[in-house]
Amino acid sequence: MDYPITRDYISFGDSRSGEKIDDVKFIVSHDTGNPGSSAYANRNYFDRVQPSASAHTFIDDKYILEIIPTNEKAWHVRYGVNNDDIRYGEDANDAAIGVELTYGGNIDFWEAYKRYVWYHAYLSHKFNLNPQTDIVAHSMLDPARRTDPQNALRKHGISWDEFINDVIEAYRNYDESGTTKPIVKGAYVDLPLSIGDQGTFVEEVQRDLIRAGFNLPIYGADGMYGQETRRAVLNFQKKYNLMADGLVGQQTLGKLNEVLSSSKPITEFPLPNGILKQGDRGENVKQLQRALKEINFDPEYIDGIYGPKTEDAVRRFQSMYAELANDGIYGPNTKDFIEMKLAE
């Protein structure tokens, strides 16, 4: 299967210098390390905050999003580590494409993974690379500091070798006449966010506020920037000594990303979307059971069966919050509060 590539480049700045790559020699595979942050959320962050870091492409379950042209340098591996020079004779920033896998939160991992695999095969064809030898994990270049993308892959039972084998298979089946023409769009939301704004990016900010400990007990992450969201933003700004105006601008968004990246990671316990109840079975139930056990609401078994013990664990958790219906059914509101508890 072929996937469209969206090219929505960020502005020139610290994240995008415009320096050219003379010859692409390899691909560095990453994951974002920021569960629940979508491709466009990352694009907006790098465009507006302009940290001295970046990657070429971010991939979620909806987009293969190139934010820096593949003929320009991105800052995705530390200079000064020598493993890239030893393997390929050049620094990764000067001769490699950096590809980031997003995961967690509301992102459908398997849809994102399929795009991630396909895009590596696409790049291998485009730059005449060998997937067996010319794709390297960030963790292999900077093992003292990085664990990606195995950090994300292993949570879903995928080893590095299995990922490479999947890319090789996609490479063999790649169709040069596929749908790889760029879709150029500017779908991001202009900052600052304020009362009346709505959409997926507003929902992402709301979920990040909840994960940072700033509840939205009435409406939750509904994608509508109303008074409840404004109050949560004001409380966040006051806590972190920002200008308290209730608007999500560049400074507030940057601080929110900083807080989440420095808080207790919840990547080991990704939560499923949708509704689960007694009688349901499968991997989604296991994910819920693992998360419940982590926050000390032990469902007794991690067996993928939503039985009486799991229902009781959910009820016990729900009973702690007046905003949740104490019905033993896992749904979006319960998910938000579990994520908040995991982030504490």
Do 327 and 235 have their domain in common? Answer: no
- CATH classification at residue 95: 3.40.80.10
**What does the pLDDT read at residue 185?**
47
Instruction: Please give the order of strands across the beta sheet that includes 135-137.
Output: 135-137, 26-31, 96-101, 57-59, 64-66, 5-7, 182-183
| Domain membership flag for residue 170 | yes
Same domain, 16 and 140: yes
Mean pLDDT, range 167-193, rounded to an integer: 67
Classify burial at 46, counting beta carbons within 10 Å of its beta carbon; exposed 0-12, middle 13-18, buried 19 or more: buried
* Percentage of residues in the chain having pLDDT higher than 70: 92
Q: Residue 45 is part of which domain span? A: 5-183
Residue 215 shares a structural domain with residue 148: no
* Separation CA 116–CA 139 (nearest Å): 17
Q: Is residue 194 part of a domain?
A: no
Residue 276 forms part of a structural domain: no
pLDDT digits (tens, 9 = 90+) for 82-116: 999 999 999 999 999 999 999 988 899 999 999 99
Question: Which of 183, 210, 231 lies at the terminal end of a domain, its last residue?
Answer: 183
Q: Which amino acid is at 242?
A: L
Instruction: Specify the pLDDT at position 189.
Output: 53
Q: Are both 51 and 164 inside the same structural domain?
A: yes
Same domain, 115 and 89: yes
Instruction: Kindly state whether residues 105 and 227 are assigned to the same domain.
Output: no
Residue 87 inside a domain? The answer is: yes
Average pLDDT, the chain: 87
Amino acid identity for residue 285 in this structure = V
Same-domain status, 70 and 139: yes
- 3-class DSSP string for the chain: CCCCEEECCCCCCCCCCCCECCCCCEEEEEECCCCCCCHHHHHHHHHHHCCCCCCCEEECCCCEEECCCCCECCCCCCCCCCHHHHHHCCCHHHHEEEEEECCCCCCCHHHHHHHHHHHHHHHHHHCCCCCCCCEEEHHHHCCCCCCCCHHHHHHHCCCHHHHHHHHHHHHHCCCCCCCCCEECCCCCCCCCECCCCECHHHHHHHHHHHHCCCCCCCCCCCCECCHHHHHHHHHHHHHCCCCCCCCECHHHHHHHHHHHHHCCCCCCCCCCCCCECCCCECHHHHHHHHHHHHCCCCCCCCCCECCHHHHHHHHHHHCCCCCCCCCCCECHHHHHHHHHHHHC
Q: Which one is predicted more confidently, 37 or 247?
A: 247
Do residues 236 and 287 both lie within one domain? no
What's the confidence (pLDDT) of residue 251?
Answer: 85
Q: Report if residue 19 sits inside a domain.
A: yes
Residue 14 within any structural domain of the chain: yes
Supply the pLDDT for residue 261: 64
Same domain, 161 and 205: no
Do 110 and 258 lie in one domain? The reply is no
Compute the distance between CA of residue 308 and CA of residue 31 in angstroms, rounded to an integer.
Answer: 36
275 found inside a domain: no
Q: How many structural domains does the chain have? A: 3
Model confidence at 340, pLDDT cuts 50, 70, 90, reads confident
Check residue 294 and give its pLDDT.
83
Last residue of a domain, which of 183, 217, 251? Answer: 183
pLDDT digits (tens, 9 = 90+) for 214-270: 888 888 888 899 999 999 999 999 989 999 999 998 789 878 877 876 654 444 567
Q: What is the reported pTM?
A: 0.58
- Any idea what the CATH number is for the domain that residue 288 is in? 1.10.101.10
Please tell me the predicted confidence (pLDDT) of residue 175.
60
Residue 167 lies in a domain: yes
Question: Do 127 and 17 share a domain, yes or no?
Answer: yes
The last residue of one of the domains, among 141, 156, 183, is 183
Q: Tell me the mean pLDDT in the region 21-33.
A: 95
The answer to whether residues 158 and 249 belong to one domain is no
Higher-pLDDT residue of 194 and 266 is 194
